[in-house]
Amino acid sequence: MSSTPIAFRIHAGLVVIFRYGVVVLIGLSPSEGTAPIETLISRVIGELSSYEEESAQAQLCNDQSAEVILPGGRILSQRI
């Protein structure tokens, strides 16, 4: 899909690897995301003992009056 950053499809999702160490998993369950991460570990130089993990769910919303970000909920993208 792209060479900078590296992006490839796995199952029904997408894995994007940035040169500064960020890996973004799109459309993968936690169990599906484990395999690509474990494959990358052997290629990491200067691995940190702890890392940050953040997850979010997004959905399209047809309701123009809906809040864009609901506290603790999904990120909504309004269709224009």
Number of domains in the chain: 1
Q: Which domain holds residue 53?
A: 2-78
Residue 29 pLDDT greater than 90, yes or no: no
- Return the higher-pLDDT residue of 38 and 70: 38
Residue 50 pLDDT greater than 70, yes or no: yes
pLDDT on residue 51: 72
Residue 73 pLDDT greater than 80, yes or no: no
Q: Average per-residue pLDDT in the chain?
A: 77
Task: Name the token pair of 71.
Answer: 């506290």
Instruction: Concatenate the DSSP letters of all residues of 1-68 into one string.
Output: -EETTEEEEETTEEEEE-TTS-EEEES--HHHHHHHHHHHHTT-SS--SS-------EEEE--TTS-S
- Return the higher-pLDDT residue of 55 and 1: 55
* Average pLDDT value for residue range 34-38: 87
pLDDT on residue 78: 56
Report d(CA 7, CA 16) in Å as an integer. Answer: 4
